[in-house]
Amino acid sequence: MSHSINACQAINEFVVRFANTNGTGSASANNMFAKAIIRMGIPVSAKNIFPSNIQGMPTWYEVRISEKNYLARRGGNSELVVAMNAQSMREDIDSVAPGGYLLYDSSKSLSTEGLREDIHYLGMPISAICIKEYQDPRQQQLFKNVIYVGALAALLNIEFEVLKSLVGDQFKSKKKLITPNIYALEIGYQFANRHFTCPLPIKVERRDLINNRIMVDGNTATGLGAVYGGATVVGWYPITPSTSVVEKFASYCERLRIDPATGKKNYALVQAEDELAAIGMAIGAGWNGARAFTATSGPGISLMSEFLGLAYFAEIPVVVIDVQRAGPSTGMPTRTQQSDILSCAYASHGDTKHILLFPSDPAECFELTAMAFDLADQLQTPIIVMSDLDLGMNDHLTEEFAWDDNRKYQLGKVLSQQNLDDIDDFGRYLDVDQDGVCYRTLPGTHPEKGAFFTRGTSRNRYAGYTEKSDDYVDNMQRLNKKFAHASSFLPQAEVNQGKKPAKIGLIYFGTTSHAIEESVAQLKEQGLSADTFRIRAFPFNHQLSDFINNHDHIYVIEQNRDAQMRTLIINELNASPMKLTAIVHYDGLPITSRYIVDNIVLELSANLATQKVG
């Protein structure tokens, strides 16, 4: 078929999409493909689009290769689709860009009806080959994936040596698997060379654009950050997409937190009976002076809200990791969103406010998670790290993790026995330093002094129960003071802005960051220059108000329906809603620069129109 139709041409700038069935072990092969390209010095982003089910359903893996270093999901159709799932063949064919390529298993021939004329079909009888090559059905299954990777090497001009070294690293521990895997790669490689004109017009060429970056998922980074941050107590309950945060924390602890002398654990991890218990444990530990956290997603945040209110009001340090997914309710557990902003910022009944951190890549997951434990101790309140499924579960090319060995944990205002002896008037809630943060004591510190009764009820400065209006108001105002004071501790925003501000300002956070550089470039192509402001923490500070004041058009870009961050900005900074246009993307897939730019342009022209009219 694929005679005189024009072909996609691209070097180091295209998308390869893999269509597989989940539970068939395609993940590691696809991962090998992405890593190989990185090892050739070319930036890559990889998005796993998987079902909320364990086995037998369609799953996709979208690899964007970009020497321009644009690492958001590109969106749109792909130049090359590896279609290994009969179930989804129809939509997979539709997902090929005109002039693009479909690599499929030709053991069974494609049903011809409605086949597109504008794409190239690369048939390879992979199943047949596997049945010939392997007896064990499990192997027939697994090596399929390795074989098509071999074929891709030939088609896309991937250095075979790179793949071999990858296999070597991957099976360091199971050496006997190396040869069969390389053999499978070769099968595919040779088949492709023999039957297709390799390489294709879309291909890769070695570059040196990776520097010291690493490829890792955010949850691994978060778990590791908790280890470095000194977390010792974890209460958790499994929920996608947060589960691997704790699993990674646990596996690093098994390596790094075992007392060499006794073989005993320098940490305690409990799979709780539910999320209420999970955060209850973290709070109990925080109250008792250990660094503690829990990790959860959507529904867990709802269940934790009563306890979050207690921790806010009783002023107990605790770290909560929220790996956001598509809500409401159970929603789409395997899709990404940034839709817990409001439910976290104001979690719990009554006048409650919480500190939020917004990492945008794994390096920052590591850094902000570690920092969260300092902040929790310094501010004696919950710190919620707002990750999401895209960040947490997809591999990202990110700066390597960094740790300064001179850095010291900030344990905040905790009184020692000595301190207590030196003080003659201890009151747990006395605002000694006038910053709203009071001195606390830990159980067991002093035989005579410093003991107090922690409660979720109203109390005076000496921690005594009170229903007196003045005491109550006094305490509530101090909590507000503390919250205002907090912003000075929090990570600064990332601002890109010329000497004279551009007309347009983009406010964004978290994984939306990956699409911003590209968006700015695309806007420039349209003659629109834009400054950018990346929020890294809540509460905000004057920086953000200034940015808003300095720009005529502000776009708040976020991945939820209700423009929750915009609400937070307006509410906390008294910013004019008229000035803040929401660009919301909430279909569960990571946001793209195309979507951002299209919507900004649309809105601007609409704007102009109305101006013309009125």
Partner 1 sequence: MSYIKSKFHHPRLPVNDLGLTYRDYEGALSTLCAGCGHDAITSALVQACHELSLPPHQVAKMSGIGCSSKAPNYYLNKAHGFNSVHGRMPSVTTGANLANKDLTYIAMSGDGDSASIGLGQFAHVVRRQLDMVYIVANNGVYGLTKGQLAATADKGVTNKAGELSLFTDIDLCVMALQLGATFVARSFSGDKKQLVPLLKAAISHQGFAYIDIISPCVTFNNHSTSTRSYDYVHEHITTAAIADFVPVKKEITSDCAEGACEDICLHDGSLMRIRKLESDYETQNPMKAITDIEAHKKKGEILTGLMYLKPTASHFHDINNTADTPLNKLSQDVLCPGSRVLSSINDSFR
Residue 457 lies near a copy of itself (rule: CB under 8 A): yes
Q: What does 54 interact with, of ligand TPP, a copy of itself, ligand SF4, none (CB < 5 to 8 A by kind)?
A: ligand SF4
Cβ-proximal residues to 490 (8 Å cutoff; 6+ apart), any chain: 355, 357, 375, 536, 537, 539, 541
> Torsion angle of alpha carbons 176, 182, 188, 191, nearest 10°?
-110
CB of residue 274 to ligand TPP, shortest distance in Å: 7
The candidate with the shortest Cα–Cα distance to 65, out of 180, 193, 152, is 152
Helix (H) or strand (E) holding 122: strand 120-124
Task: Tokens for 248, please give them.
Answer: 């990674």
Residue 351 lies near a copy of itself (rule: CB under 8 A): yes
- Among the listed residues 290, 303, 332, 521, the single contact to ligand TPP using CB under 6 A: 303
Angle 38-23-84 from CA coordinates, rounded to 5°: 65
**Bridge partners, 123 (sequence order):** 104
Compute how many residues bind a copy of itself; rule: CB under 8 A: 64
Residues 367-406 as x/- pattern, contact with a copy of itself by CB under 8 A: ----------------------------------------
Residues 260-279 as x/- pattern, contact with ligand TPP by CB under 6 A: ---------------x----
DSSP state of 511: G
CB of residue 453 to partner 1, shortest distance in Å: 4
End-to-end CA distance of the chain, in Å? Answer: 56
Dihedral sign from CA coordinates of 393, 395, 397, 398: positive
Nearer to a copy of itself, 9 or 53 (CB): 53
Per CB under 8 A, contacts with a copy of itself among 282-341 are 298-299, 301-303, 305-306, 309-310, 312-314, 326-335, 337, 339-340
Residue 111 lies near a copy of itself (rule: CB under 8 A): no
Residue 581 lies near a copy of itself (rule: CB under 8 A): no
Residue 239 lies near ligand TPP (rule: CB under 6 A): yes
Residues contributing to the site for ligand SF4 (CB under 6 A): 54-55
Q: Which stretch binds ligand TPP (CB under 6 A): 237-245, 320-328, 515-523, 537-545?
A: 237-245
Q: Which residue is nearest to ligand SF4 (CB)?
A: 54
CB of residue 357 to ligand TPP, shortest distance in Å: 23
Cβ-proximal residues to 50 (8 Å cutoff; 6+ apart), any chain: 22, 59, 60, 334
Distance CA 324, CA 298 (A): 6
> C-alpha distances in angstroms, 134 versus 170, 180, 308, 400, 452?
21, 11, 55, 40, 70
Residues 183-222 as x/- pattern, contact with ligand TPP by CB under 6 A: ----------------------------------------
Residue 607 lies near a copy of itself (rule: CB under 8 A): no
Q: What does 576 interact with, of a copy of itself, partner 1, ligand SF4, none (CB < 5 to 8 A by kind)?
A: a copy of itself
Distance CA 205, CA 200 (A): 12
Q: Which stretch binds ligand TPP (CB under 6 A): 123-131, 166-174, 235-243, 381-389?
A: 235-243
Nearer to ligand SF4, 54 or 261 (CB): 54
Cβ-proximal residues to 320 (8 Å cutoff; 6+ apart), any chain: 279, 282, 293, 294, 295, 296, 301, 304, 308, 382, 383, 384, 385
Nearer to partner 1, 79 or 374 (CB): 374
Q: What does 351 interact with, of partner 1, ligand TPP, a copy of itself, none (CB < 5 to 8 A by kind)?
A: a copy of itself
The candidate with the shortest Cα–Cα distance to 63, out of 82, 45, 84, 81, is 45
Distance CA 212, CA 411 (A): 32
CB of residue 4 to ligand SF4, shortest distance in Å: 48
**Radius of gyration, CA atoms only, the chain:** 27
- Among the listed residues 457, 480, 529, 571, the single contact to partner 1 using CB under 8 A: 457
- In angstroms, how far is CA 132 from the centroid of its own chain? 42
CB of residue 380 to ligand TPP, shortest distance in Å: 23
Distance CA 458, CA 351 (A): 13
Binding positions for a copy of itself, rule: CB under 8 A:
51-52, 298-299, 301-303, 305-306, 309-310, 312-314, 326-335, 337, 339-340, 342-343, 346-353, 455-458, 467, 469-470, 472-473, 476, 480, 560-562, 564, 567, 570-571, 574-578, 586-589
